[in-house]
Amino acid sequence: MEQIGERYGVALVLELDASIAADSAQRHGLVRIAREAVLNAVRHGGAERVQVLLSQDGKGRLLEVSDDGTGFEPGKRTAEHPGFGLIGMRERAEALPGVLTIDASPGSGTRVEVRW
């Protein structure tokens, strides 16, 4: 993750609770989801700051990636951006098993959340 921040000149803030239990398949899926969300924020959203949070609360375990980029309309796909990355994130979240939620709108950044 740090390499992405350095490569694209984005402030990457990591808040990772090391006590979160996940098997190797879950860890792999979570890393892939986080990486895709961070890359989307930088490449498509022009984000200058991206926060990655891994935590646990009364509802379960949580991975959240939020950014200050331009945001987007989650249901809108174009030839240039067909949404394959979002589909892959959703499939990986469901395999945890978990649920992916995307909160975004044009001009307001994006928040990608996975609960499992």
Bridge-based pairing state of the strands 110-115 and 49-57: unpaired
Query: The CATH number of the domain where 11 resides is what?
Result: 3.30.565.10
**Maximum separation of any 2 CA atoms in the chain, in Å:** 41
Q: How many domains does the chain have?
A: 1
C-alpha angle with apex 107: 102 to 111, nearest 5 degrees?
25
Average pLDDT, the chain: 93
* 85-97 pLDDT tens trace: 999 999 999 999 9
- Quick one: pLDDT at residue 82? 63
The DSSP code for 1 is: -
Q: What residue ranges in the chain does DSSP mark as E strands?
A: 11-16, 49-57, 60-67, 99-104, 110-115
- Quick one: pLDDT at residue 17? 97
Flag whether the pTM goes above 0.85: yes
The two three-digit tokens of residue 94, written as one number: 């469901």
Return the number of other C-beta atoms located less than 10 Å from residue 32's C-beta: 13
- Quick one: pLDDT at residue 74? 78
Range(s) of the domain holding residue 36:
2-115
